[in-house]
Amino acid sequence: MNALLDLAARQLRADLAAAPARTRERFSPEGRAARCRTIAELRALAKRSVPKPIFDYADGAAWDEVTARRNLAAFEDVTLHPKALTDVSAVDLRTTILGGEVALPIIAAPTGLTGLQHPDGEVAIARAAHRAGTITTVSTMASCTLEEVAEASAGRRWFQLYVMSDRGLVDELLARATDNGYEALVLTVDVQVAGVRERDVRNGFSVPPRISLRTLAQGVAHPRWSAGFVANPRMVPANLGWEGSASATLAASVNKAFDPTVTWDDLADLRSRWKGPVIVKGVMRADDAQRCVEHGADALVVSNHGGRQLDGAAASIEALPAIADAVGDRAELYLDSGIRRGTDIVKALALGARAVMIGRALMYGIGAAGEAGARRAFGILDAELRVALALAGYPRAADLGMDAVSVR
């Protein structure tokens, strides 16, 4: 009896000694992110973790946000047709993207100003993508420089270009991307002008951030975020020489810097100058997709920019089948806008995408807990995708085809 009491007392003492560390770990951003079971839960954690204007910038979309909602709802109109009596003991997520193998059919989408969510910004996303065995795409508007990301991650990297009116700057960006081992050029074609994101307008979201009583109050309410921001303020896109420029709304800055005259001639010009693969991002029509292929594009991203540009546009998943039909095997297709679940990925692959890109899922992750949160986003989708493929009776993600789905 005494020996038993002695053992219980020793265990209690050990538990109490470990309690502070366990509590710290439990309430750390990393601990909280690790307990998120879904992308929706990561979103909720990000919402609590960063100031409202910063969360709204990532979460928000254009005008009435109809297309953003439709991106999510349209996945519900795709029905899965599970195949019975298939051996699913080994689920294989691997596929090839532009000739190189990736561990899962998910690519990090380019996101601008990622460092506002967490100072590690695109570096955190690149590291998480590399760890997941896949590719990251660094935006022209990234908070980290192309060199910083290259230095921080040995994984596959693509460079996403917005064509600026200052073509000298475009040439410089292309040269830096080449020199730093960015494998493919992703030309985004759906930001001819800035979309009107009314949450940003209401919040007075600007670049660099304008410090007001309201933003100070937000900072005080989010001390952990503020400490990171003060230690390493990522105020402006790092690759464009905007440091020291006056604060302006994001839309005004975009409309001043981006070139609205970009046409097919620019695609032809970039195609001839960029030595690696060219990917056109923001294609929503079969005729455009066909024309991209004729201009030598190696891949297309079927995307409405997460509903952040033309509100009222179709959901990307609705646009995919006709584009897949028009393109056939002449170019690889990726899809983004609205991926929140493993089953969304199954549906996109079945309808003709080779992989999906994820934007907000990663933004929520890094807002919640930096690199650990981005890893969690990949982890959640990887795990969901494995179960969904097993239940659908397609143990190899790369084998999914039209027979696996129907569209309402």
Ligand X SMILES: CC(C)CC(=O)C(=O)O
Ligand Y SMILES: Cc1cc2nc3c(=O)[nH]c(=O)nc-3n(C[C@H](O)[C@H](O)[C@H](O)COP(=O)(O)O)c2cc1C
List the binding residues for glyoxylate: 57, 162, 197, 305, 308
Stretch 233-252: interaction string toward ligand X, x if CB under 6 A: -----------------x--
Q: Which of 347, 360, 376, 386 binds ligand Y (CB under 6 A)?
A: 360
- Any catalytic annotation for residue 305? yes
User: Pick from 274, 279, 285: which is nearest to 325 by CA?
Assistant: 285
Stretch 303-332: interaction string toward ligand X, x if CB under 6 A: --x--x------------------------
CA 383 – CA 371 distance, rounded (Å):
18
Q: Which does 207 bind (CB under 5 to 8 A by kind): ligand Y, ligand X, none?
A: none
Nearest approach in angstroms of CB 254 to ligand X is 5
CB closer to ligand Y out of 156 and 305: 305
- Give yes or no for residue 206 binding ligand Y (CB under 6 A): no
Q: Say which residue the tokens 């502070």 belong to.
A: 20
Q: Within 251-280, which residues bind ligand X (CB under 6 A)? A: 254
- Give yes or no for residue 281 binding ligand Y (CB under 6 A): yes
CA 227 – CA 220 distance, rounded (Å):
10
Nearest approach in angstroms of CB 139 to ligand Y is 3
CB closer to ligand X out of 336 and 384: 336
Tokens of 376: 């969690």
CB closer to ligand X out of 305 and 354: 305
CB closer to ligand X out of 258 and 378: 258
Q: 218 to each of 60, 125, 210, 221, how far by Cα in Å?
A: 18, 25, 12, 5
CA 175 – CA 31 distance, rounded (Å):
40
Stretch 161-200: interaction string toward ligand X, x if CB under 6 A: ------------------------------x--x------
- Give yes or no for residue 194 binding ligand Y (CB under 6 A): no
Nearest approach in angstroms of CB 355 to ligand Y is 13
Q: Are 232 and 118 in contact (CB under 8 A)?
A: no
Q: Within 75-114, which residues bind ligand X (CB under 6 A)? A: 112
- Give yes or no for residue 161 binding ligand Y (CB under 6 A): no
- Give yes or no for residue 209 binding ligand X (CB under 6 A): no
Nearest approach in angstroms of CB 299 to ligand X is 19
Q: Which does 254 bind (CB under 5 to 8 A by kind): ligand X, ligand Y, none?
A: ligand X
Q: Which residues are annotated as a binding site for FMN?
A: 110-112, 139, 160, 188, 281, 303, 336-340, 359-360
Stretch 37-76: interaction string toward ligand Y, x if CB under 6 A: --------------------xx------------x-----
- Give yes or no for residue 362 binding ligand X (CB under 6 A): no
Task: Report cis status (omega within 30 of 0) of the bond before 208.
Answer: yes
Q: Are 339 and 320 in contact (CB under 8 A)?
A: no
- Give yes or no for residue 127 binding ligand Y (CB under 6 A): no
Residues that bind ligand X (CB under 6 A): 112, 141, 191, 194, 250, 254, 305, 308
Residues that bind ligand Y (CB under 6 A): 57-58, 71, 109-112, 139, 141, 160, 188, 281, 303, 305-306, 308, 336-339, 358-361, 363
What are the catalytic residues? Answer: 305
